Amino acid sequence: MASPVTTDAPATAPAPAAPLPEVRKLGGRIGAVLTGVRLGGDLAPETVAAVRAAILEHKVVFFRDQGHLDEDSHEAFAQVLGTPVAHPTVPSADGRYALGIDSDHGARANQWHTDVTFVPAYPAFSILRAVTIPPYGGNTLWANTATAYTGLPEPLRVLADSLRAVHSNDYDYAALRPDALPEALAQYREVFTAVKFRTEHPVVRVHPETGERNLLLGNFVQKIAGLTGQDSRVLFDLFQSHIERPENTVRWQWQVGDVAIWDNRATQHYGTDDSDDHVRTLRRVTVDGDVPVGPDGRASVLLEPSEVPEPAFGPASGAGGAA
Ligand SMILES: [Fe+2]
């Protein structure tokens, strides 16, 4: 009869457990605050997996007190979630991937949108870091496009499943920003639409990681495919209004050092323009996504130009959709 194996080797202390975030929900449908994690490029795989799972579940997650992050460590953290990508037209703030979201560039995002949906493979995640925060205002709101879909009455879900929409970066900024200086508008428009993109997406995107169905609309939508102007506008407003319902949203009051990470495939967001002339500076790094697919299995299609051009540095967001 075999006796139990014994060993004289000294017991080694177990490796300290990787820190896992504590998760506190902010609302019933969207948003959670995560604590106990110091973000960076050196996170343990278990910590990364927990953060990623929280993003997928809560759609947007918030971290306070991440003031140690700079351009490099912000980008290094992005790399643990995927491949950082540059904006297809707007030059970065640091010559690499960080996009400046600055109050003085005439670029306030006070329209509900999903980032960069005018290209096919728009970003999967956006990571926004607060650098300078005004004394009041400048909050950001996010909306859950998955619960917006599941909350629709059945006939509207069936209708949405059948629709596709054309998204473009070329629209009337002057109509959206009546208070902006003409020179600022012209300059921003010239940069943002240096290349004019048009992409046809399904109105309902099947999420590649969760399998959930999401409404894919927002202010880059030019029209619902196959419909005339008024019909297109009415249908857009109908579905978009379900996304924007207050119960479907969360609102964040920024502090310096905050980081917000959202699943750009399952949300829209809106930056409020209500801090007068106070400076507000945030840095955004986006992580590459893949080409959306609708409930019928049809993928998004780039209509214009023939391919997504490479920006000055790094791969372009959406370039994977050019093929
Ligand atoms: Fe945005």
pLDDT tens column, 112-133: 999 999 999 999 999 999 999 9
pLDDT at 18: 82
Crossing angle for the helix pair 154-161 and 229-243, nearest 10 degrees? 120
Tell me how far CA of residue 15 lies from CA of 19, 35, 44, 47, 298, in angstroms: 12, 22, 12, 14, 47
How far, in Å, from the CA of 6 to the mean position of ligand 1?
Answer: 60
Residue 284 designated active-site: yes
User: What is the Cα 59 distance to its own chain's centre?
Assistant: 9
Residue 113 designated active-site: yes
How far, in Å, from the CA of 270 to the mean position of ligand 1?
Answer: 7
How far, in Å, from the CA of 4 to the mean position of ligand 1?
Answer: 62
What pLDDT digit, counting tens, does each position of 256-287 carry?
999 999 999 999 999 999 999 999 999 999 99
Going across the sheet that includes 267-271, the strands are 249-252, 140-144, 267-271
pLDDT at 1: 44
Q: Which of 107, 103, 166 is nearest to 137 (CA)?
A: 103
Confidence band, pLDDT 50/70/90 cuts, at residue 320: very low
Neighbours of 246 (CB within 10 A): 10
Least reliable range by pLDDT among 2-6, 113-117, 199-203: 2-6
* Residues 13, 92: Cα–Cα separation, whole Å: 46
Rounded (5°) CA angle 136-141-143: 170
Give pTM, 2 decimals: 0.88
* Residues 66, 51: Cα–Cα separation, whole Å: 15
Q: Which of 52, 87, 207, 284 is catalytic?
A: 284
Structure tokens at 180: 């902006």
Mean pLDDT of the chain: 88
Q: Which residues pair with 142 in a beta bridge?
A: 250, 269
Domains, the chain, with CATH or none: 22-304 (3.60.130.10)
Give residues with Cβ within 8 angstroms of 73, minimum separation 6.
Answer: 39, 40, 41
Give residues with Cβ within 8 angstroms of 39, minimum separation 6.
Answer: 63, 66, 69, 73, 77, 259
Is pLDDT at 10 greater than 90 in this prediction?
no
